[in-house]
Amino acid sequence: MEKQIRELVARLLAHQHLPRQDRLVKKALTDEAFRQDLDARLHACGLKFLDNPYAGDVTLVLERDMEQGVLGEQETWMSNTMNLDRTAIALLMVLWSLIILPKRQRQVERKELGEAQDQSEMFALEKPLETGKLVSAPVNRNALIADFGDKLGKATKIKMNLGTLARLGFIVQRQDEIHEGPLLDLLLDYHQLAGRVIDGALSDLLGRHLADLKPAPEPDWDEEELEEADV
């Protein structure tokens, strides 16, 4: 087990994230003894295994009490640890709203539908939440620029920031489509952001895109284990 834990941590450090379907990630999510040993070893290094059941990947993050010592004394790290400028952060929030909010609504609706169907099955097994292309729809880049170019820095600036967000793992660009990246739903805290986006400052900017969306209820999980990292 020790070698498997060392391999998993090394791969997460090398690749930044791994899919939930990965053999050792599955073991970390289902084997209690393995997870406890993994968490203890990571804690000794100031790190934490980050898992969100709605996201398709897992990653490692700093534990809260390590952030200031590692990231510096300036307060900017509290909201932005990746040196993104204001336009890049704004673009990230718009993309999160356009991709993750509808995705979460689809996930919850399908989960509720599946639970209703399973009630008629005596030995129905709990099904994992759907992730990836099954529930995450892309955003058209040209439409994004047309709708938000005046607010997000025009076409050239938006394309530059899209490249930055892609390198950081938040999005994946395929021709003119912008897809969810492995870290978009993992590193941004849905609990904190959903209500603020739908009812707050971005509601006017996003307008019709959010008209039919409501914050989706979250399942009862251990919030300490799934506490999201700041961007």
Can you give the pLDDT at residue 68?
79
Can you give the pLDDT at residue 77?
56
- Model confidence pLDDT, tens digit, residues 146-178: 988 888 888 999 999 999 999 999 999 999 999
pTM: 0.78
Angle at which helices 190-199 and 86-118 pack, to 10 degrees? 110
CA of residue 204 relative to chain centroid, distance: 24
Q: 59: phi > 0 → left, psi -120 to 50 → alpha, else beta; which?
A: beta
Judged by DSSP in three states, 200 sits in coil
**DSSP assigned state of 219:** P
The average pLDDT across 209-224 equals: 53
Can you give the pLDDT at residue 129?
73
Does 229 score more than 50 pLDDT? no
225: confidence class by pLDDT, cuts 50, 70, 90: very low
Higher pLDDT, 201 or 151: 151
Where do the structural domains in the chain lie, given as residue ranges? 2-78, 86-210
Higher pLDDT, 23 or 209: 23
Two tokens, residue 107: 């996930």
Do residues 164 and 88 touch, judged by C-beta distance below 8 A?
Answer: yes
- Model confidence pLDDT, tens digit, residues 69-127: 887 766 555 556 677 888 999 899 999 999 998 898 888 887 777 666 655 554 444 56
The average pLDDT across 212-227 equals: 49
